[in-house]
Amino acid sequence: MSFYIAKTIQAPFDAAIDKVTAALKEEGFGVLTDIDVRATLKTKLGVDWRPYRILGACNPPLAHRALQAEDKIGTMLPCNVIVQDLGGGSVEVAAIDPSASMERVGKPELTELAATVRAKLEAVFARL
């Protein structure tokens, strides 16, 4: 089992960010954080890097259920979704596979919840 799910789309990078954000919203996720890795690496290290953003996506009802089952699950929240420019008009969108990460906690209610989150993330990817 891979630790992530991914899809490559053909779109300008900024348009891909908009598409991902809209698709997340349709599945009940909001973007809590938006980390511009390219800008951070340039500012902090003087390194040039391809456009690469980390979107911290959260579905509040599902996050609440997860926190009720295990209060340390916040170490895995929000769900990070990366959007990176592969060049030539290709953009990869990837997210952690919640089933792969949450099953390690060993609580059946989280395993079940992770399957729900994964299905929602797969629906996001299907919209792209």
What is the Cα Rg of the chain in Å?
15
pLDDT tens, residue by residue, 62-80: 999 999 999 999 999 999 9
Q: What is the pLDDT of residue 1?
A: 61
Q: Please tell me the pTM assigned to this model.
A: 0.94
User: 1 by DSSP, 3-state: which?
Assistant: coil
Q: What is the pLDDT of residue 103?
A: 81
Expressed as residue numbers, the domain containing 40 is 4-127
Residues in the chain, pLDDT under 50: none
Q: What is the pLDDT of residue 128?
A: 96
Q: What is the pLDDT of residue 87?
A: 97
Number of structural domains (the chain) is 1
| Residue 37: CATH number of its domain | 3.30.310.70
Residue 118 is which amino acid? R
Nearest to 107 by CA among 56, 73, 64: 73
Q: Give, rounded to a whole angstrom, the gap between the first and last alpha carbons of the chain.
A: 23
Q: What is the pLDDT of residue 75?
A: 92
